[in-house]
C-alpha cells in the first residue's frame, strides 16, 4: 500500500450549520456545509463522526456517528437527521444556524444496488430512516420501484411521506397503532418479500433479528438479499480501535470500515 | 538563545543502545489507538509523526472480546478490545513489509501471558526490516503466577524485560501499568533489566454498570480507562519515574492539546504518546509537532530536550527527587 | 411485590456491632466535602441525610498546605488541603456537642501517621455523645515505615484497624485507598481485623503542571483526584471488594446523579457517599434520597437492600466472584 | 448553633438570563433573574457560585465565583460582569437571553462603610471593577464623595465612566497609556490616600502588593483602612472544602465565607 508522503487528503473538517428544520417529532434536520468533492461523491449509507461538544470541554469525549440523510449539492451541504437522545445528540440539537461543527468523514461503506435490481424494499426503524431516504432518492432516480416501510413508537416519530419522492409507496407502522399498522416495521415486510429484488434495512439491532425471522421463511436461496446498517458504539470511525466490531462469518470486523452496511446473511447478531 | 535555526525536536529514545531509536520529533501515536498506521493514512500525514506504535500483538491470533468493547465515561473512555490481532506470524507477514517502505519509525507493541512467549515474539522481530523498536506491554496477566499482572510487580516486570533483552538488540521500551502501587520500583527494575526507555501510563482498570440491564456494560466486565480523565495520574507518575531513572521516559495519558503535552515534557518525559485523543481529533499529533516547535521558539529554547523535567527541581539538579510521604499519599 | 408502603431505604452499616450504625437512608456526605455539617445548613436540610462524615481529624491541630490547594482537572479536581483541622481536642470541644442536638448521624473521619495516634484518637471518641461512628482514613503515610501509605498494604491497614478496634466499640468504617494494587487483599485484611464496614474509594494521587510557571501547580506538588473522572475505577473496586467481604461496603467516587448512585448499589455498595458533587450541586444528596425511593418503587423493589450487588452474579449467588486475570488487568 | 430541621433556606436556584449587554471590550453584563428577597438584601462584595456548563456534561466541573456588579430591584435581577477568559467564563458568555443558569448564593461577606466615612477611594483592576460599581452606587446614595481609580491593559478594557453615578470622579490608568495615565491603578492612589476615609480595592493579587507598597508609607496608624476582595480558586463556596483559604494573622481562613473582603492589614499576601 502506498501512502501519501505529502499531507494526506484530510477527511477532517469543520462545517457550518446552514439550516435547522424540525422533523419526526423532536428530531431535527441539520444542513451542514462540506467541501463539494465530499458532497458529490457521497454514497447512501456512509456516515460522519461528529464532534458533539465545545472543543475545550472534554465531556462527552467521543465523536458521534451520524448517517447522511441527504446531500444538497447546490449548497454543497450534508443533511443529518439528529434525534436528541443522550448527551452528544442533545448538544448537537442545541446548535444554531451559523455555528460550526467538526466532521470526520465520509466514513464506512455504502448500500449497493445489484445491476438488475428493479424493485426495492426499504425497512426503517426510527432514526434508522436516515440513510434510507438518500438511498430511496437514488433508487427513484434510477427508475426503480420503491416500497418504504417505516416503524416508529407513535405517529409523531414517523417520517412525513412528503419527505420521499412521490412515486415511493410509504407504509407506516406504529407500536401504539396511532397511525398506519399497529406493530413493528419488519412485521409489514412479509407481503413485499416475494416482490422485492433487494431489501435494505436500517434500525436498532432487535429489529434485524425480527426482520430475519420474518423474511427467512419467505426467501428462496437467500433471495432477495438483505442489506442492513448496523449501529455500534464507535470511537475512531477508521478501523483503528476495533471498538465497533461486528461478528461475521469471517470473524470480527470493524463496522466503521467494513460496514456499517452488511449482508444480513453475513453477520451474526 | 537560538541561533535562528528552528528548535530541534529530534530525540533518541534508546541512547544506551547502539541501534538507536532516533525520532524526528517526540510525538508518537499510541498503541491500540492507531491500528497499524495505514488506518490513518487517508486522514493525516502519518510519515510526519515521530513514530507510531502498533496495536498489541500476541503469540497467537486473537479475535478479541465480545461486544460491547468500548464505553464513554466522564472525560474518558473504557476499552476492552481484548487484543484482537492477527498473531505474531500473521502480523509479520503483513505489516513490517509495508512499513519498510515508510519513513516513519514503527514500534511493535507486544503482549503475552508467559515470559517465554514475550521472548519468542521479540526474537522473531529482532532482525525484521521495518521494525524500529519493541514496546513491551506488561499490563497482562502472568499465567504462571495465577494471573497476577506482570506490570504490578517489579520482579515480574524485570523478568519479562530481561528475557526480551536477551533475544533482541532492538530498542526496547517497557510500558508500565498504573495499577502498580509503587510505580517507581517497577521503573527502576525494568531499567536495571535492560529497558532502553520506559513508557507510561497504560490504562487504569474501570467498570461501568449498565443500570437498565443491571449488569456490567462491557462484555468483559472491566475495561481500561483512558483519556483526559486520567491525565493528572499520568503526569504524577511521569514526574516520579523520570526523576528516578536515567533512561528516557515516554509520557502519555489524556493528552488533548499543546498544554497537556507540555505538562508531560516539563514533568520529565522525553517524548509523548497520543492515544484516545486521536479518535476525537485525528489531526492533533501533526498539529502538536508544529505547535511544540512554535512554543519552543517563542519561549527561547533551542531544543525539546531543554524543557524535559524542568518542572521538577530535583530532576534539574540531577538528584532523585522523590516525593515526600504526604505528596505521594495524596492527602 | 411492594405492599403499598414506600420502599425501605434504611440500612445498618455495622450489622456485626451491637452499637449499630442505622441510617434512615443510604446517602452520606463524604469526608472533606461537607465540613462539619454546619456549612451546608443554610443550603440543604442536613438532617435528612443518611449520615455525614466530618473533615479528617488529626491528633494535633493542622493549618494545612500552602495555596493553591485545589485545581480543576478534566471532569474532576485535585485537592491538597493538607488536613486543615482543629486537632482532636479542639474538634471534640466544638463539634460533637453541636451534633448531639441533631438527628442525623455524624461520623468522624480520622487520619494519623502512627498506629498509636489512630488508637489514641479513637479512644477519645469512644464515649463521645454526638459521634455515631468512626471512619478510618488509611490514605496517610506511615511514619514508622518510611512514609509508605498505610492503605497500600494489607498488613498495615489491618494493624491500624485492630488498634482502633481494641479501644472503641463504636461502629468502625475503614476507608480504602485506590492506590493499593490489590484492593481486595486490603479489604479482606481490615474486615478480619474488625472493621464493621468498608468505604471506598479515597482519591487517586495526581499532579497538574502549571505550564506558565514551569512547576507543579499545587503547592503540595500532588493532590487527590476526585469527581466523575474516577467513577469507573471506583465502581470496579466496589464490585471487586463487595464480592469478597461480608461487611457492608460504602461506595463513592464521582457520583453526580441517580444513575451513578445506582451503578454503585448494583455493583455491591450498601450505601454511598457523595463528595465532589456536593460542591457543584449541593442539593444532590437530598434529591438522591427521593429519586432512589421513586426508582425502587417504579422498578418494584421493596427495599434498597434488594438491589445491592445484583449486577454481580457471583455476589448474588453468595460466592466470591473474583474477576478473571484479563478482567482485572484491563486488557 | 440551631439548624433548620425543616427544609433549609435554599441558596441554590436557577436564574433566567434577562439581558446581555457588551461592556469593557469583550466582556459582558449578564442580567439574571433571582428571588426578590435575595436581590433586595444583597450587599456589595458578595458573590455567586455559577454553574458554567450544561448539567449533564461534567467538564469543566466546578462552579465559578462571580461578584455582583449591580442589582436591578425592579426586575428582581442580579447583574454580573463576565470576562470570557477560560472555559467556564467562555461558556457563560456564550449564553443567550432566555437561557437558565444555576446560581448558588449570595456567598461571602461584603465591603463595609465605617459609620463616619465621607470620602471613599475605589481602586479597581480589570474585571475587579465589578463589586466596586455596586459599592459606589451605595456610597453615592449615602451622600459620600467617591473617587474611582480604574486600571486596565488598554483603553478597551476600561469601564465607561457613564456606568458610574455622575458625581463620581473617575480616574483611568492603562498599561499602554492608550487612555488616562500610563501605569497601574495603585500608582494613581498616592494623591488620594490622605484625602480618603476608606479605601476599597478589587483586582488581581499582584495589584494588592503594589497597593500596599504605595499606601503604607502614606498611612498614619493604618488609616485610612483598606478593604480588598481576594480572588481564589474555589470549589464549594461555603467554607466546607478549605480550598480557597487566605493566610491571615489569625490563621488560614476560608475566603468564600470570611471573605472575599479582607482588611489589607489582616491578610498575608
Ligand atoms: C453508523 C451510525 C449511524 C448513525 N446515524 C444516526 C442518525 O442518522 N441519527 C441519529 O440521531 N443517530 C444516529 N446514530 C446514533 C448516534 O451516533 C448516537 O449514538 C446517538 O445520537 C446517541 O448519542 P448521545 O450522545 O445522544 O447519547 P449518549 O449520551 O451517548 O447515550 C446514549 C445511551 O447509550 C449508552 N451508550 C453510549 N455509548 C455506548 C456504547 N459505546 N455502548 C453501549 N452503550 C452506550 C449510554 O449509556 C446511554 O444510555 C448512528 C449511529 C451509528 C453507529
Ligand atoms: C470572589 C470572586 C469573584 C469573582 N468575580 C468575577 C467577576 O465579577 N467577573 C469575572 O469575569 N470573573 C470573576 N472572578 C473570576 C472567575 O470566577 C473565574 O475564575 C474566571 O472567570 C476564570 O474562569 P474560567 O473558567 O473562564 O477559566 P479557567 O478555565 O478556570 O482557567 C483560567 C486559568 O486559571 C487556571 N486555574 C483554574 N483554576 C485554578 C485554580 N484553582 N488554581 C490555580 N489556577 C487555576 C487555569 O489553569 C487557567 O489557566 C471572580 C473570582 C472570585 C474568587
Ligand atoms: C482502544 C484502545 C486500545 C488500546 N490498546 C492497547 C494495546 O494493545 N497495547 C497497549 O500497550 N496499550 C493499549 N492502549 C493504551 C494506550 O496505548 C494508552 O496507554 C492509554 O490509552 C493512555 O493514553 P491516552 O489517554 O492518550 O489514550 C489502548 C488504548 C485504547 C483507548
Ligand atoms: C476537597 C476534598 C477534601 C477531602 N478530604 C478528605 C479527608 O479529610 N478525609 C478523607 O478520608 N477523604 C477526603 N476526601 C476524599 C472524599 O471523601 C472522597 O473519598 C473522594 O473525593 C471521592 O469521592 P468524590 O468523587 O465523590 O469526591 C476529600 C475530597 C475532597 C474533594
Ligand atoms: S470505531 Fe474504531 S474501529 Fe470502528
Ligand atoms: S471554596 Fe470551599 S471553603 Fe471556600
Which atom belonging to ligand 6 lies closest to the Cα atom of D235?
1
D250 or A44: which leads in pLDDT: A44
Instruction: Give the 3-state secondary structure of residue C212.
Output: coil
Closest CA in chain D for residue A55: D87
Domain D5-107 sits in CATH at 2.40.30.10
Q: What are phi and psi of B238, to 5 degrees?
A: -65, -45
Q: Measured between CB atoms, does D245 come within 8 Å of chain C? A: yes
CB contact under 8 A, D245 and C64: yes
Residues B138, B144, B146, B152: what is their CA dihedral angle, to the nearest 10 degrees?
-30
- How many interchain CB pairs under 8 A, B with D? 5
C168: CATH: 3.20.20.70
pLDDT of residue C146: 85
Burial status of residue B229 (CB atoms within 10 A of its CB: 0-12, 13-18, 19 or more): buried
Alpha-carbon span C57 to A238, nearest angstrom: 52
State how far the Cα of D212 lies from the Cα of D268, in Å rounded to an integer. 11
From chain D residues 15-74, the ones with a CB under 8 A of any chain B CB are 58-59
Confidence of residue C330 (pLDDT cuts 50, 70, 90): low
Give the relative orientation of helices C183-192 and C154-167 as an angle to the nearest 10 degrees: 30
> What's the pLDDT tens digit per position in C309-323?
999 987 766 665 567
Is C145 in CB contact (< 8 Å) with chain B?
A: no
Neighbours of chain D (3+ CB pairs under 8 A): A, B, C
Joined grid coordinates for residue B303: 531544543
Cα(D18)–Cα(A240) distance, integer angstroms: 48
Q: Where are the domains of chain A?
A: 5-107, 119-266
> Can you tell me the distance from the alpha carbon of D200 to that of D186, in angstroms, rounded to the nearest whole number?
11
Q: Which residues in chain C have their CB less than 8 angstroms from residue B331's CB?
A: 65, 80-83, 139-140, 220, 223-224
Read off the C-alpha cell for D240: 466546607
Gap between the Cα atoms of D20 and D32, Å rounded: 9
Residue C5 lies in a domain: no
- DSSP label at residue A267: B
User: Which of B202, B229, B288 best tests ligand 3's pocket when mutated (most atoms within 8 Å of CB)?
Assistant: B202
Q: Which ligand 6 atom sits closest to the C-alpha of D234?
A: 1
pLDDT single digits (tens) C103-140? 999 999 999 999 999 999 999 999 899 999 999 999 99
The x, y and z cell numbers of residue C175, run together, are: 476507608
| Spatial distance between the Cα atoms of A60 and D100, rounded to a whole number of angstroms | 21
Residue D256 has pLDDT above 70, yes or no: yes
**Chain C, chain D: beta-carbon pairs less than 8 Å apart:** 115
Q: What is the pLDDT of residue D6?
A: 35
Measured CA distances, A178 to A27, A159, A164, A175 (Å): 19, 14, 21, 8
A125 CA → ligand 1 middle, Å: 15
Residue B61's alpha-carbon distances to A84, B81, B86, B135, B287, in angstroms, are 40, 14, 4, 19, 35
Nearest-CA residue for atom 28 of ligand 4: C32
pLDDT for the residue numbered D8? 40
Mutational pocket test of ligand 3: of B27, B28, B30, B284, the residue with most ligand atoms within 8 Å of the beta carbon: B30
Q: Are the beta carbons of D196 and D119 closer than 8 angstroms?
A: yes
State the pLDDT confidence band at A8, using cuts at 50, 70 and 90: very low
Measuring CA to CA, which residue among C99, C89, C94 is closest to residue C37?
A: C99
Show pLDDT as tens, one digit a residue, over chain B (331 residues).
Answer: 446 789 999 999 999 999 999 999 999 999 999 999 999 998 999 999 999 999 999 999 999 999 999 999 999 999 999 999 999 999 999 999 999 999 999 999 999 999 999 999 999 999 899 999 999 999 998 888 888 899 999 999 999 999 999 999 999 999 999 999 999 999 999 999 999 999 999 999 999 999 999 999 999 999 999 999 999 999 999 999 999 999 999 999 999 999 999 999 999 999 999 999 999 999 999 999 999 999 999 999 999 999 999 999 877 666 655 677 677 765 5
> Is C216 among the domain residues?
no
Report the distance separating Cα B237 and Cα B162, nearest Å: 23
Residue C152, domain extent: 11-64+81-206+225-329
Report yes or no: A79 and A21 within 8 Å, Cβ to Cβ: no
Residue nearest (by alpha carbon) to ligand 4 atom 6: C32
Q: Nearest ligand, CA of residue B178?
A: 3
* B44, B286 contact by CB (below 8 A): yes
Going by C-beta distance under 8 Å and a sequence separation of 6 or more, which residues neighbour residue C89? none
Least confident segment among A155-159, B269-273, C144-148, D213-217: C144-148
- CA dist., res. C71 & res. C91, Å (int): 27
**What would the pLDDT profile of B43-101 be if each residue is shown by its tens digit?**
999 999 999 999 999 999 999 999 999 999 999 999 999 999 999 999 999 999 999 99
pLDDT at D79 over 90: yes
What pairing do the DSSP bridges indicate for beta strands A77-82 and A64-72? antiparallel
Structural domain count, chain B: 1
Q: Could you tell me the pLDDT band of residue D10, with boundaries at 50, 70 and 90?
A: confident
Q: Is C106 helix (H, G, I), strand (E, B) or coil?
A: strand
- In the structure, which protein residues have their CB atom closer than 6 angstroms to any atom of ligand 1? A 47, 60, 64-67, 81-83, 85-90, 127, 130, 231-234, 260; B 68, 70-72
**The pLDDT of residue C264 is above 90:** yes
Helix (H) or strand (E) holding A228: strand A226-229
Q: A101-131 b/e with 16+ CB inside 10 Å = b?
A: bbbbbbbbbbbebeeebeebbbbbbbbbbbb
Cα of B188 to nearest chain D Cα, Å: 35
Q: What integer pLDDT is reported at residue A7 of this predicted model?
A: 36
In the prediction, which pLDDT does C324 show?
Answer: 72
Question: Length of chain A in residues, anyone?
Answer: 269
Give residue C169's pLDDT band: very low, low, confident or very high (50, 70, 90): very high
Residue C64 has pLDDT above 90, yes or no: yes
Q: Is C149 a catalytic residue?
A: no
DSSP line for C37-76: SGGGTTTS-GGGSSEEEPPPB-SS-B--PPSP-EEEETTE
Q: CB burial class (10 A; 0-12, 13-18, 19+) of residue D85?
A: middle
Beta strand ranges found along chain C (DSSP E): 11-12, 22-23, 27-29, 51-53, 70-73, 76-79, 106-110, 133-137, 141-142, 148-149, 172-175, 197-200, 204-206, 209-210, 215-216, 223-226, 249-251, 271-274
In this predicted model, what pLDDT tens digit does every residue of A226-239 receive, in sequence order? Answer: 999 999 999 999 99
pLDDT band with cut points at 50, 70 and 90 for residue D217: very high
Residue with more model confidence, D153 or C325? D153
Buried b (16+ CB within 10 A) or exposed e, C269-282: bbbbbbbbbbbbbb
H-helix or E-strand containing B134?
A: strand B133-137
Q: What are the φ and ψ backbone dihedral angles of C144, each rounded to 5 degrees?
A: -65, -20
Task: Band the pLDDT of C57: cuts 50, 70, 90.
Answer: very high
Mean pLDDT of C162-183: 97
Nearest to C279 by CA among D51, D66, D260: D51
Structure confidence at residue B330 (pLDDT)? 59
Nearest-CA distance from D12 to chain A in Å?
A: 24
**3-state SS track over chain D:** CCCCCCCCCCCEEEEEEEEEEEECCCEEEEEEECCHHHHHHCCCCCEEEECCCCCCCCCCCCCEEEEEEEEECCCCEEEEEECCCCHHHHHHHCCCCCCEEEEEEEECCCCCCCCCCCEEEEEEEHHHHHHHHHHHHHHHHCCCEEEEEEEECCHHHCCCHHHCCCCCEEEEEECCCCCCEECCHHHHCHHHCCCCCEEEEECCHHHHHHHHHHHHHHCECCECCEEEECCCCCCCCCCCCCCCEEEECCEEEECCCCCCEEECCCECC
CATH number of A119-266: 3.40.50.80
Residue C200 in this model has a pLDDT that exceeds 70: yes
Mean pLDDT of all residues belonging to chain C: 94
Q: Which of C112, C140, C271, C307 is catalytic?
A: C140
Interface test with C, best of A53, A56, A58 (most C CBs within 10 A): A58
Q: How far apart are the first and last CA of chain D?
A: 32
Cβ contacts of C222 on chain B, cutoff 8 Å = 236, 323, 327-328, 330
Which ligand neighbours the alpha carbon of B69 most closely?
Answer: 1
Query: What is the reported pTM?
Result: 0.96
Judging contacts by C-beta atoms under 8 Å, the chain D residues touching residue C79 are 235, 241, 243
**What does residue A156 show for φ and ψ, rounded to 5 degrees?**
-65, -20
Listed in sequence order, the residues at least 6 apart from B127 whose beta carbon sits closer than 8 Å to its beta carbon are none
| Nearest to D236, CA basis, from D42, D32, D61, D44 | D61
Do residues B170 and B122 lie in contact, with contact meaning Cβ atoms separated by under 8 Å? yes
Q: Is the pLDDT of residue C280 over 60?
A: yes
Q: How far is CA B26 from CA B14, B78, B194, C61, in A?
A: 13, 26, 22, 47
Strands D261-263 and D251-254: unpaired
- Written as nine digits, the cell of B66 is 465480545
Rg of chain D on CA atoms, in Å: 18
Q: Has the ipTM of the complex gone over 0.85?
A: yes
Cell digits of residue A1: 500500500
Closest among A257, A231, A208 to A66, alpha carbons compared: A231
Q: What are phi and psi of D226, to 5 degrees?
A: -120, 125
- What does residue C136 show for φ and ψ, rounded to 5 degrees? -90, 120
Sign of the Cα pseudo-torsion (D158, D159, D165, D166, in order):
positive
pLDDT of residue B328: 73
Is the minimum distance from the CB of B56 to ligand 3 under 6 angstroms? yes
In which band, very low, low, confident or very high, does the pLDDT at A187 lie, cut at 50, 70 and 90?
confident
Decide if D233 touches C, using CB distance below 8 A.
yes
Is B67 in CB contact (< 8 Å) with chain A?
Answer: yes
Please report how many Cα atoms fall inside a 13 Å half-sphere around the Cα of residue D28, on the Cβ side.
Answer: 20
β-pair partners for A80? A30, A68
pLDDT at residue A19 greater than cutoff 90:
yes
Residue B3's pLDDT is 64
The predicted pLDDT at position C42 comes to 87
Q: Which of B83, B134, B138, B140 is catalytic?
A: B140
Q: How far apart are CA C3 and CA A173, in angstroms?
A: 39
Query: What local confidence, expressed as pLDDT, does residue D4 receive?
Result: 33
How far apart, in Å, are the Cα atoms of D183 and each of A125, D125, D178, D213, D226? 67, 11, 10, 15, 21
Please give the share of chain A, as a percent, with pLDDT higher than 70.
Answer: 97
Helices (H), C199-281: 231-244, 258-267, 276-280
Burial B130-146 (b: 16+ CB within 10 A, else e): bbbbbbbbbbbbbeeee
Residue pLDDT, tens place only, D224-242: 999 999 999 999 999 999 9
Q: From chain D, pick out residues whose CB is under 8 angstroms from the CB of A58.
A: 59
Amino acid at each position: 500500500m502506498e501512502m501519501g508522503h505529502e499531507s494526506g487528503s484530510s477527511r477532517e473538517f469543520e462545517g457550518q450549520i446552514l439550516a435547522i428544520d424540525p422533523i419526526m417529532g423532536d428530531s431535527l434536520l441539520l444542513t451542514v456545509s462540506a467541501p463539494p468533492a465530499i458532497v458529490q461523491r457521497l454514497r447512501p449509507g456512509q456516515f460522519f463522526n461528529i464532534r458533539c461538544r465545545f472543543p475545550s470541554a472534554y465531556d462527552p469525549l467521543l465523536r458521534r456517528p451520524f448517517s447522511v440523510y441527504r446531500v444538497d449539492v447546490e449548497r454543497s451541504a450534508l443533511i443529518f437527521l439528529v434525534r436528541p437522545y443522550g448527551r452528544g445528540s442533545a448538544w448537537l440539537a442545541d446548535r444554531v444556524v451559523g455555528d460550526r461543527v467538526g466532521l470526520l468523514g465520509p466514513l464506512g461503506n455504502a448500500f449497493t444496488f445489484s445491476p438488475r435490481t428493479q424493485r426495492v424494499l426499504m425497512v426503517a426503524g426510527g432514526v434508522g430512516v436516515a440513510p434510507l431516504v438518500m438511498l430511496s432518492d437514488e433508487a427513484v432516480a434510477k427508475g426503480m420501484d420503491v416500497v418504504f416501510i417505516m416503524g416508529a413508537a407513535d405517529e409523531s416519530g414517523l417520517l412525513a411521506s412528503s419527505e420521499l419522492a412521490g412515486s415511493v409507496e410509504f407504509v407506516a407502522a406504529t407500536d401504539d397503532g396511532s397511525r398506519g399498522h399497529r406493530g413493528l416495521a419488519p412485521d409489514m415486510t412479509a407481503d413485499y418479500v416475494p416482490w422485492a429484488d433487494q431489501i435494505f434495512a436500517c434500525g436498532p439491532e432487535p429489529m434485524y433479528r425480527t426482520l430475519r425471522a420474518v423474511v427467512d421463511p419467505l426467501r428462496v436461496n437467500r433471495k432477495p438479499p438483505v442489506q442492513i446498517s448496523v449501529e455500534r458504539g464507535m470511537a475512531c470511525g477508521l478501523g483503528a480501535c476495533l471498538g465497533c466490531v461486528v461478528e461475521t462469518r469471517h470473524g470480527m470486523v470493524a463496522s466503521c470500515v467494513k460496514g456499517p452496511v452488511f449482508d444480513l446473511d453475513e453477520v451474526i447478531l | 538563545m537560538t541561533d535562528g535555526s528552528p528548535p530541534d525536536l529530534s530525540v533518541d529514545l534508546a541512547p544506551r543502545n547502539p541501534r538507536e531509536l532516533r525520532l524526528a520529533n517526540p510525538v508518537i501515536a499510541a498503541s491500540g489507538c492507531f491500528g497499524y498506521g495505514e488506518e490513518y493514512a487517508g486522514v493525516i500525514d502519518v510519515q510526519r509523526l515521530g513514530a507510531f506504535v502498533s496495536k498489541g500483538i500476541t503469540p497467537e491470533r486473537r479475535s478479541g472480546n465480545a461486544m460491547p468493547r468500548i464505553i464513554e465515561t466522564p472525560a474518558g473512555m473504557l476499552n476492552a478490545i481484548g487484543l484482537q490481532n492477527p498473531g505474531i506470524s500473521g502480523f509479520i507477514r503483513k505489516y513490517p513489509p509495508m512499513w519498510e517502505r515508510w519513513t516513519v519509525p514503527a514500534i511493535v507493541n507486544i503482549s503475552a501471558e508467559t515470559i517465554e512467549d514475550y521472548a519468542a515474539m521479540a526474537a522473531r522481530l529482532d532482525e525484521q526490516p521495518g521494525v524500529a523498536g519493541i514496546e513491551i506491554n506488561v499490563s497482562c496477566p502472568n499465567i504462571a503466577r495465577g494471573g497476577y499482572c506482570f506490570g504490578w510487580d517489579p520482579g515480574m516486570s524485570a523478568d519479562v524485560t530481561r528475557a526480551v533483552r536477551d533475544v533482541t538488540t532492538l530498542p526496547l521500551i517497557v510500558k508500565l501499568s498504573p495499577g502498580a502501587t509503587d510505580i517507581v520500583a517497577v521503573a527502576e527494575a525494568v531499567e536495571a533489566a535492560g529497558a532502553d526507555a520506559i513508557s507510561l501510563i497504560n490504562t487504569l482498570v474501570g467498570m461501568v454498570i449498565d443500570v437498565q440491564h443491571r449488569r456490567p456494560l462491557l462484555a468483559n466486565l472491566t475495561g481500561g480507562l483512558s483519556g483526559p480523565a486520567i491525565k493528572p495520574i499520568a503526569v504524577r507518575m511521569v514526574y516520579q519515574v523520570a526523576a528516578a531513572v536515567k533512561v528516557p521516559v515516554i509520557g502519555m495519558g489524556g493528552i488533548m492539546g499543546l498544554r497537556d503535552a507540555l505538562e508531560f515534557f516539563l514533568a520529565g518525559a522525553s517524548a509523548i504518546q497520543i492515544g484516545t485523543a486521536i479518535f476525537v481529533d485525528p489531526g492533533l499529533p501533526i498539529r502538536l509537532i508544529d505547535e511544540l516547535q512554535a512554543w519552543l521558539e517563542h519561549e527561547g529554547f533551542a531544543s525539546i530536550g531543554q524543557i524535559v523535567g524542568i518542572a521538577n527541581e530535583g530532576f534539574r539538579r540531577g538528584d532523585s527527587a522523590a516525593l515526600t510521604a504526604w505528596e505521594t499519599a495524596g492527602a
